[in-house]
Amino acid sequence: MNKIVKSDAEWEKELTPEEFEVARKKGTERAFTGRYWNNHEPGIYRCACCGSDLFRSDEKYDSGTGWPSFWAPATPENVETEIDRSLWMERTEVLCSKCDAHLGHLFDDGPNPTNLRYCINSASLRFDPKEEK
């Protein structure tokens, strides 16, 4: 996969201020404030920066945390993780494989079948509704 590499100035021109702060500067939106935490429509969640398919509504569930939560990525190779040691703790950060956008964090307290919770910021996502046939 070819990585998308852009300067902060280029990303700032393409993203909203909130998207830039979260996806490019590793920020976090407040719980229960993001546009997708309570979205129940069928469709696919794509990276707000590069458009890669990240998560599907089929794997989304209500974790009670106030952020969109998924038990698996739509396309595993489009999502990668790395250790995040910020805020005096160790967590697993979730990133877009194509553009390195910060998506959120991964926890091991999710539902079956994976027992994983991809806790993702709405500001890092763009939702593409599934068209009715």
Q: Is residue 67 exposed (0-12), middle (13-18) or buried (19+ Cβ within 10 Å)? A: buried
d(CA 123, CA 133) in angstroms, rounded, equals 29
Neighbours of 51 (CB within 10 A): 14
Q: Does the bond joining 17 to the residue before it have cis omega, within 30 degrees of 0?
A: no
Q: What is the sign, positive or negative, of the torsion defined by CA atoms of 39, 41, 44, 47?
A: negative
Find the helix or strand (DSSP H, E) in which 11 lies: helix 8-14
| pLDDT tens digit sequence for 63-117 | 999 999 999 999 999 999 999 998 788 999 999 999 999 999 999 999 999 999 9
Q: Report the predicted TM-score, pTM, of the whole model to 2 decimal places.
A: 0.93
Domains within the chain, CATH numbers bracketed: 31-129 (2.170.150.20)
Q: Tell me how far the alpha carbon of residue 23 is from its chain's centroid.
A: 9
Question: Annotated active-site positions, please?
Answer: 119
Alpha-carbon distances, residue 96 vs 56, 102, 122 (angstroms): 15, 7, 14
Q: Dump pLDDT digits (tens) for 43-62.
A: 999 999 999 999 999 999 99
